[in-house]
Structures are given as structure tokens and as C-alpha cells.
Structure 1
Amino acid sequence: MSHSEELESMWNSWKDTLGSLKDLRIQRTYVTDLSRTVTKELQVFSDASEKAIAAVIYFHTTDSEGRCKLRFVLGKAKVAPISRHTIPRLELCTSVLAVEIAQFVLEHLDTHIDSVKYYTDSNVILSYVCNESRRFYTYVANRVQRIRKFRTQNQWNCVPTDRNPADLATRCLPAAELQDSAWLQGPKHLVMKKEQQCDENEHLLIDPDEDK
């Protein structure tokens, strides 16, 4: 099979899966009982690969009994630039995308948000955002400035790749699997009760200043 025939086969295979999208449903009721809601947060995940950059936001609520709910709000993915940026630079681009779409949601969501939390599986990004003293090259400095314009460094957290739903948008995911995917459903550990989340996250903490 020639290269062009292989590409045609891949295209047709992808096109045939699009029929599954007609059954796609996204729940848009974020909160059913505001009187029982104690905290309302936005949880923002971002990721990058050589093929794409992506960010996704979830509306996370906790009630008076510590029960959590998570709802998909907005996701965005872009094809990676063809100029062959390094992965750290692509991760920086996707972090900028994350804060930009979070700002968009904050401006249009008609309810008070207690906090916004950002997650990345890149230690390089945590180092960029948390380092106040180091001078960066112009490309990095401009993007770090855009990130800090909206967010503070203590809002950024490390998440393992296998718990990062934005990872799904940077690689191939069949349309038939989208409905039940973490991209729309969100990471399962965020719907645990608060005390369970703390236990789960203790071993995930990473010092952003340690050597990369």
C-alpha cells in the first residue's frame, strides 16, 4: 500500500466513525440544588503533544455532606504548529490556552466561582509559572506573563498523565468512545469526597523547583 493509499484508508476510517456523534449528549445542568452547594470551583486541565494542544474545564461542586459533582463546561483543542516546536514550548502554549478559556468561562458563567485550579503533567510548566526570579527568553517570558496576568502560581498543580483528561484530545480517540471518555466525564478522583481527594493527592505533590 502506497503512502497516499494509507492516508486515504485512515481518512475513510475516521470519517466512518463520525456517525456516532449523532448520539452524543452533554449534560448542561451543572447544579440542581444551589442551597446545598458549599463550594463551586473550575478545574482546568491542559496537555500537549507533537500533534495537538488541548485544554478542558469542569465545573466542580461540593455539598454540605462533602459529596462532589463534576460537569464538563468547555474543551478546546488545536493542531500543533507545523514549525516543530519543542514539547516544553507546546506545553507552554497549551497553558496559555487553559487560562484564556478559563477567563472566557468566568466572564460568561452566571454564578460566583470560589476558586480556579489548573492542572498540568509538565514539571517544566510548573517551574515556569512558579519561578519569580529567573529570567526567561522572550518567547517563554511573553507566555508566562500572559499566564500570570490572570492566575497566580499557587493555583497550578501537577497531575499524572493517566489522570489528565486533556491528554485524550492530543491523540486519537474514536468518536464512539467520546461519550464515556474522561474528556466529557472528567477525572474520577475529583468526584470523591473531599477527605478522599486529599488522601489520593498527597503522593502526587511535586516540588516545582526540583531539577527537571
Structure 2
Amino acid sequence: LAPVTTHLKKLMKYLWSLGVGWDDPLPQDAMEAWRCYHNELPLIGQVRVRRQVTCTESTYELHGFCDSSEIAYAAAVYILARRPDGTTHCQLLMGKSKVAPEKRLSIPRLELCGALLLARVITYVRTNLTTLQISRITAWSDSTVALAWIKTPTSKLKTFVANRVAQIQHLTSPDTWRHVPTAHNPADCASRGLTPGELVNHNMWWTGPDYLTKPEELWPTSNIIVSDETDK
């Protein structure tokens, strides 16, 4: 439900910035936002999540996606099962979002925060899937700048970026990171937020982008250029 909770986190951050106390009346715009959200909450009851993630004689891959906006940064991890008959099944395992820090950061740095969140979520999921043999892990981001940082030696990066890249490189191999167009990035749902009504039938959030179930030669490709000028 990360895309829905992002809306609440955004509202809480807005109220915090106004200095609204726990017993103060809410501003009119905040009240209207809450009413719209509250009216759609019952729709969450329509969400049905398949709990079984295993298929007989299948091989398994983890695919993680990250994204960031000025509101929040987010990560989503999917399990892709490949069956012997060539068919596939993909579904969401875990999603998480965090509100962007109060101190204003550039979008590339927020995207890097999202990448670190994804690295941590992937590690958590992999650690807890002890009964499954994961044949492959791929991490996807739509930020070419963040991807270039992840593939750069930390000695060439400034402190803020270097610290986060070091953690990402410790948790994941830089070779696992690939570029995905924003239109095919399900983590965008959680970084920008969805209403309960939008979430219920949002196929990309629940089952990942369509290309994952197609042959790999049809997956997005992009050359990430690493240079000494990447840390701006």
C-alpha cells in the first residue's frame, strides 16, 4: 500500500511545515485533502494479493525498482517466476516509501536515496526468502545520473554521494543496476502517490512492468556513461 501511504506522508509533512499542533484546527486545504482521501479508503478493502509466490519447477528472479520525486522516494521489489513451459509470472513482494528530507536536495541526490532504499529492501527480501533459490537479481532506476554514480569508484565522488554509493555497492553489485524508462517504472507510483481508487486496479504496481514477462532482448537498454564529471 506504499503508493497510498505516500499521500498521507505528504499531508503530514505539509502540516509539520506549517507548525500545526496536535490540538490545532487543520487548514481548509488540508481538511479537503483528508476528506477526499478518507472517502476512498473503503476501496482498499477491494485489494486482493496472491500470497503464493512459488510455482512448480520454476526458476526465480528478483527485480527491484526505485524512484524519487520532490515528495518522496520509493522502492518496489518483484519476484519473477520462469516455468519450464516458458510462461512467466511476476508479482509484487514488497514496497516502501519515505518522505523526502526537509533539507532540499537535488532530484539526482533524491534518486540516489531511492536507490539506497531499494538496495536495503532487496537485501531484506533476499535474506527472508530462505526457501527459494534466486537465480538473478536486477535493480532498475530511471535516473541515469544515479546509475552513473553507482558505477563510479567512491573515491571520485563527493561526500554525500560517496557515502550512499558505498552502502549501495556493499549491498548490491553495480553490475546488477540497469536503466528503465520512467513510463515503465512501478516505483513511480509510490514516489508520487496514488489514491486508493487508483491503486486497486493499477496493474503495473501489483505485477510489475509488462516487459519483464517478455524475452530479455525486448527489455529496456541504455548505456550509462561514467566519468569524473558525474558528481555535480
1:163-174 aligned at under 5 Å gives the runs 163-174=184-195
TM-score by length of 2: 0.81
Q: Deviations over 1:61-108 (max 9, x none)?
A: 112232221011000011111111111111111111001011011111
Select between 105-114 and 115-124 the one with higher mean Cα deviation: 105-114
Q: Residue 29 of structure 1 aligns with which residue? A: 52
1:149-168 aligned at under 5 Å gives the runs 149-168=170-189
| Alpha-carbon RMSD | 1.8
1:46-125 aligned at under 5 Å gives the runs 46-109=66-129, 110-125=131-146
Unaligned runs of at least 5 residues, structure 2: 1-25
Give, in angstroms, the shift of residue 16 of structure 1.
1.1
Q: Secondary structure at the match of 1:115?
A: strand
Give, in angstroms, the shift of residue 32 of structure 1.
2.8
Give, in angstroms, the shift of residue 172 of structure 1.
3.1
Q: Residue 198 of structure 1 aligns with which residue? A: 217
Contact 1:47 1:166 in 2 (8 A): yes
Q: 1:98 to 1:60 in 2, by over 3 A?
A: same
Aligned AA (1:21) = I
Give, in angstroms, the shift of residue 138 of structure 1.
1.2
TM-score by length of 1: 0.89
Matched residue pairs, number? 202
Q: What CA distance in whole angstroms lies between the structure 2 residues aligned with 1:67 and 1:154?
A: 26
Give, in angstroms, the shift of residue 58 of structure 1.
0.3
Q: Secondary structure at the match of 2:212?
A: helix
Give, in angstroms, the shift of residue 122 of structure 1.
0.2
Contact 2:154 2:166 in 1 (8 A): no
Q: What CA distance in whole angstroms lies between the structure 1 residues aligned with 2:88 and 2:36?
A: 38
Give, in angstroms, the shift of residue 134 of structure 1.
5.5
Contact 1:17 1:174 in 2 (8 A): yes
Percent of aligned pairs with the same amino acid: 31
